[in-house]
Amino acid sequence: MHVLALLGICGLVLAQTPSITTTAAPAIYTVGPSQLYTNITAAYDALPNDGNSYTIYILAGLYIEQFNITRTGGTTLRGETPFPNDFSQNLVTVQISNGQLTSNNQDETTP
């Protein structure tokens, strides 16, 4: 009986506690042929350099480009997949646009 009364009081106190404002969930930037960002570089360039984490969600396809991730906040690249917990089923391929095979000892010419 005392336990139920105590829970009732706690519930009443919690109901009167003002809500706490939290930061919004990280924004997701979508990349794809019919999206605002048609390549990964454009989506990355649009990310604010504010130290917050952002996700770039990449729709299925082949993307021929090269980019460096240098911003201060976290950047997550997620490719479209029918199985979110299995990266081997990813439907996205990113192919380097300008580089040399490193097996040819051409490391210094790879941008």
6 pLDDT more than 70: no
CA distances from 107 to 88, 99, 101 (A): 27, 9, 8
The predicted model scores a pTM of 0.65
pLDDT in tens, 56-100: 999 999 999 988 899 888 999 999 999 988 888 899 999 886 766
Taking the CB of residue 12, how many other CB atoms lie within 10 A of it?
A: 9
Binned at pLDDT 50, 70 and 90, residue 106 comes out as low
Q: Which of 50, 109, 93 is nearest to 75 (CA)?
A: 50
CA dihedral 56, 62, 64, 66 (to 10 degrees): 30
